[in-house]
Amino acid sequence: MTKKEPFFWITVSCGIVIMAFILLPLIEMMTAPSFAMLKETIKDKDVVRSIWLSIYTAGLAALISFVFGTPLAYVLARSDFRGKKLIESIIDLPIVIPHPVVGIAILSVAGKNHWLGELFNQVGIRIMGSVTGIVVVLTFVGMPFYINAVKGGFESISPRLEKVSRSLGASMFSTFFRITFPLAWRSMLVGIVMCSARAISEFGAVVIVAYHPMIAPVMIYERFEAFGLKYSQPVAVWLVFICLTLFLILRILTLHDRGKTA
Amino acid sequence: MIRIKNLNINLKEFNLFDINLDIGTNEFFVLMGPTGAGKTVLLEAMAGLIPTKSGSIHIGEKNVTGLAPEKRGVSIVYQDYSLFPHLTARENMRYGLHFHRIDKDRSDETFDRLVENLNLSYILNRFPLNLSGGELQRVAMARALMVDPEILLLDEPLSALDPGFREEIRAGLKKLHRDSNVTFLMVTHDFAEALSLSDRAAIMNNGKIIQTGTMEGIFKRPDSTFVADFVGMKNLFAAQFRETKAFTGNLEIELSVKPVNGKGYIAIRPEDIVLSREELTSSMRNSFAGNITEISDHGLYYEAGIMVENITFKSLVTKGALLDLRLAEGTRIFVSFKATAIHTF
């Protein structure tokens, strides 16, 4: 066996440090609450309600991203036009803006002194302190992750496949649904997972727009503030556990794949 | 039948300038040129896959210039075959049938015929990932022909295949063309391939068509230095003409006919130049003494460079001839060629 160079040992030790840095706090938190405590927590109607709210608002955000983001991702992947870089930077903005600022920005158009807020008010849509508001915030922060993942997926599909399909008689619509969509499906799913994972973890923006109804991260914060670490841990464990299970199921469902996809 | 008139295309990376082309029904036409000449762009323009700036494209009697690709009846086979990776070979082949009103009996008949002719029966249920290069190529051909196109565009269909395999596929391609009434238009940069498959060809360079004509004509009578070089006329010299003589450097070369212009180029194929130890006097009207400056190995043959005065002639010699004549760098040798082997333009 050849002797390993010092460089190799540096890479290994840095890797170990990072693994420990990520896993140690998580494992500690996950194992802290007793079974009895976990059992009691999940019987708490407020906890169940807030976790469920977190999951379905994040899911809705992913669904909205899917419907509106897919065509945009396609255009960005397939065509080259002036201002494309600008549009891509705008899409990335929600990632870099501090979370409370996102909440404040959304409230400033949804408030009564803005014409859009006034319009919403008249048709009966309330942003402040409502599920609608939560979904708006989560979509705002999650959408970039969906678009970027799906754009990458579209880019990896050769445009020639679409060209061949057109020349064989398929319209652009048929081509999209028979060729592009089945091949990009996996990246869309990755995008949905990324988007909803990001949405579920949002706290700073939601807390400004809607403290109530309470999503799970807000509830964890509230229990921490009011009762301390011990009482916020079980909720956190349940949230992480349920989310991981959901993503795992999604992953298993998509493992079965025909032929070769990019 | 395809008729392209004054076609201009203006894309970011590729431009085509004033393309004019006439291709007859059921012809096997070849488009040649170096990489980046715009051959694929021209194919895609015919298929309607890229926008044109001006000019017109007619297929049959119909002007298809602004028509969507799915309404043109033009199938395309790309160099990488572009089979749909999520569909089996069978599904790939039948893909186009979803969009064409072809009678079921007839399409089944076409399918069976293509499966048999292209020997595809054993791979019908496989996905493209599990097919070899030759199999992918055959499935792509079958898929393109399933929809009864008027025109089949082939973008270097043989270049990705093993050389030993190409011969067989080439024969298959020729048979496929003979058995159908489809017009074939193939892009290639392999001259041997073009010669064996097609009757007529066009040479492209820098987005323009430089020469159009029969394969024989292009091969023997190129009308520009670019085409002469492209078809392998390695002996290409600027010359002054007087009566039936050409003057290049200090050499006086006998021609078989009087050229039209006073000056231009003479071109001689390297295989038409004969090397000998003694001066040849009989039918060879041109014979010069020179020295071999280089010999390079090209596998099946050798190429010798012979310096005569200040001009280097290139000649192809077999390994046998190389040994018989005891050729080596520095050997003094005679180069001879017939007056009829000289092309002037």
Q: Residue B155 region, left (φ>0) first, then alpha (ψ -120 to 50), else beta?
A: beta
Angstroms from B98 CA to nearest CA on chain A: 8
* B98·A170 Cβ contact <8 A: yes
pLDDT bin (cut points 50, 70, 90) of residue A256 is low
pLDDT bin (cut points 50, 70, 90) of residue A11 is very high
- pTM of the entire predicted model: 0.82
Angstroms from A71 CA to nearest CA on chain B: 20
Q: Is the domain covering A35-261 a CATH 2.60.40.10 domain? A: no
**Which tokens in the block code for residue A116?**
């859009």
- In the sheet that holds B15-23, the strands lie side by side as B15-23, B2-10, B54-59, B62-63
pLDDT at residue A251, rounded to an integer: 77
Which residue spans within chain B are E strands per DSSP? 2-10, 15-23, 28-32, 54-59, 62-63, 74-77, 151-155, 183-188, 200-205, 208-214, 235-242, 245-248, 251-254, 263-268, 274-276, 286-297, 302-308, 311-317, 332-337, 342-344
* A166·B99 Cβ contact <8 A: no
- Nearest Cα residue in chain B from A165: B96
* B84·A160 Cβ contact <8 A: no
B241-257: pLDDT as tens digits: 888 888 888 888 888 88
All residues of chain B having their beta carbon less than 8 Å from the beta carbon of residue A259 are 85-88, 127-129
Q: Write out chain B's pLDDT in tens, 345 residues.
A: 899 999 999 988 789 999 999 999 999 999 998 888 899 999 999 999 999 999 999 998 899 998 999 999 999 999 999 999 999 999 999 999 999 988 999 999 999 999 998 889 999 999 999 999 889 999 999 999 999 999 999 998 888 777 777 788 888 888 889 888 899 999 987 777 888 888 899 999 999 999 999 988 888 888 888 888 888 888 888 888 888 888 888 888 888 888 877 778 888 888 888 888 888 776 667 888 899 998 888 888 888 899 988 888 989 888 888 888 888 888 888 998 888 888 888
pLDDT at residue A259, rounded to an integer: 46
- Nearest Cα residue in chain B from A182: B86
Q: For chain A, which residues lie within 8 Å of any Cβ of chain B, measuring from their own Cβ?
A: 80, 158, 160-161, 163-171, 174, 178-179, 182-183, 258-262
- Nearest Cα residue in chain B from A257: B86
pLDDT at residue B284, rounded to an integer: 66
ipTM: 0.82
